[in-house]
């Protein structure tokens, strides 16, 4: 594995080929949120960041990140500005957004992670608030997620306990082009991957905000499939009845944005 962890909490050192050796904690106000597929030169650094938390083969991780697109799933990176003019921006955090079965105005948030050496400095909040702005600007109104052990972090950021949802993950190799075309429209008034639109500013928004078009509808094929039955299960911040595929307790949470 290519990871080398720094001994200093103020430094993040990943693969030296992709990250600077010494990275001072970036200024919160300088951070930007950008889709992975718009910054392919940072794919390796992003894979390292995620693998630092959830080790997996680099090939598999890069493949997963390589599926990011404006049509979802979409991987976002929290970036700090380049420390020197020659250096690449530092990948501070990552989150993946997917469409949700039967809920056209929802997104499922997964693989939320901040670089280990940079935790506890507000970057997780900035990542989550940034992706809320990003999702809302594209017409989505609700975020869903599941967590084993970070429910208090998410509750602190306004997430409430919710029901399980089914994220939609597919590639063009699995579905016909006509089917995918329903997802390929950009629901926001902004064109994708233009420099001026890449940066999700984490600015406070008013209570109403501008009126934005809703996201494109989900294809009928998907909206007719029933969700896995939630049953009479219940959960509290102390206890959950839900389990992941391995049988581990899992908390489902959601937030209106």
Ligand X SMILES: CC(C)(COP(=O)(O)OP(=O)(O)OC[C@H]1O[C@@H](n2cnc3c(N)ncnc32)[C@H](O)[C@@H]1OP(=O)(O)O)[C@@H](O)C(=O)NCCC(=O)NCCS
> CA 38, CA 52: separation in Å to the nearest integer?
22
- Ranges of H-type helices in 17-141: 43-53, 58-66, 123-137
Site string for ligand X, 156-185 (x = CB under 6 A): x-----------------------------
Q: Which of 82, 119, 163, 205 binds ligand X (CB under 6 A)?
A: 119
Complex with ligand X: residue 101 or 128, whichever CB lies closer: 128
Residue 71 binding ligand X, by CB under 6 A: no
Residue 53 binding ligand X, by CB under 6 A: yes
Complex with ligand X: residue 150 or 184, whichever CB lies closer: 150
Residue 98 binding ligand X, by CB under 6 A: no
Residue 112 binding ligand X, by CB under 6 A: yes
The angle that helices 43-53 and 58-66 make with each other, rounded to 10 degrees, is 120
Residue 242 binding ligand X, by CB under 6 A: no
> CA 251, CA 239: separation in Å to the nearest integer?
8
Question: Smallest distance, Å, CB 120 to ligand X?
Answer: 5
Question: Smallest distance, Å, CB 124 to ligand X?
Answer: 2
Helix (H, G, I), strand (E, B), or coil: what is residue 30?
Answer: helix
Q: How many CB atoms lie within 10 A of CB 95?
A: 24
Q: Residue 38 carries which DSSP code?
A: G
Helix (H, G, I), strand (E, B), or coil: what is residue 148?
Answer: coil
Tokens standing for 76?
A: 């976002």
Number of residues that bind ligand X (CB under 6 A): 16
Residues of span 188-227 touching ligand X by CB under 6 A: none
Complex with ligand X: residue 161 or 182, whichever CB lies closer: 161
Residue 152 binding ligand X, by CB under 6 A: yes
Residue 56 binding ligand X, by CB under 6 A: no
> CA 130, CA 92: separation in Å to the nearest integer?
13
Residue 37 binding ligand X, by CB under 6 A: no
Question: Smallest distance, Å, CB 25 to ligand X?
Answer: 11
> CA 62, CA 30: separation in Å to the nearest integer?
27
**Residue in the block written with tokens 């404006």:** 70
Residue 122 binding ligand X, by CB under 6 A: yes
Could you tell me if residue 24 is left (phi over 0), alpha (psi between -120 and 50 degrees) or otherwise beta? beta
Question: Smallest distance, Å, CB 112 to ligand X?
Answer: 5
Question: Smallest distance, Å, CB 50 to ligand X?
Answer: 9
Residue 125 binding ligand X, by CB under 6 A: yes
φ and ψ at residue 223, rounded to 5 degrees? -75, -15
Positions that interact with ligand X (CB under 6 A):
53, 112-114, 119-125, 147, 150, 152-153, 156
């Amino acid at each position: 594995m290519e990871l080398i962890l720094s001994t200093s909490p103020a430094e993040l050192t990943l693969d030296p080929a992709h990250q600077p050796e010494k990275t001072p904690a970036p200024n919160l106000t300088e951070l930007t949120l950008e889709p992975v597929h718009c910054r392919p030169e940072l794919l390796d650094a992003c894979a390292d960041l995620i693998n630092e938390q959830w080790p997996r083969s680099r090939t598999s991780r890069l493949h997963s990140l390589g599926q990011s697109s404006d049509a979802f799933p979409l991987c976002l990176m929290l970036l700090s500005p380049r420390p020197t003019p020659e250096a690449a921006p530092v990948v501070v955090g990552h989150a993946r957004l997917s469409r949700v079965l039967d809920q056209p105005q929802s997104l499922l948030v997964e693989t939320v992670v901040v670089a280990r050496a940079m935790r506890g400095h507000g970057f997780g909040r900035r990542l989550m608030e940034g992706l809320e702005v990003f999702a809302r600007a594209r017409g989505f109104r609700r975020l869903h997620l599941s967590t084993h052990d970070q429910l208090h972090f998410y509750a602190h950021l306004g997430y409430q306990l919710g029901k399980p949802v089914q994220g939609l993950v597919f590639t063009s190799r699995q579905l016909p082009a006509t089917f995918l075309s329903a997802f390929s429209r950009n629901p926001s008034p902004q064109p994708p991957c233009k420099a001026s639109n890449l940066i999700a500013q984490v600015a406070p928004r008013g209570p109403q905000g501008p009126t934005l078009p809703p996201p494109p509808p989900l294809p009928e094929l998907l909206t007719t499939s029933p969700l896995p039955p939630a049953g009479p299960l219940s959960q509290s911040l102390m206890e959950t009845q839900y389990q992941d595929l391995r049988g581990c307790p899992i908390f489902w949470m959601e937030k209106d944005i």
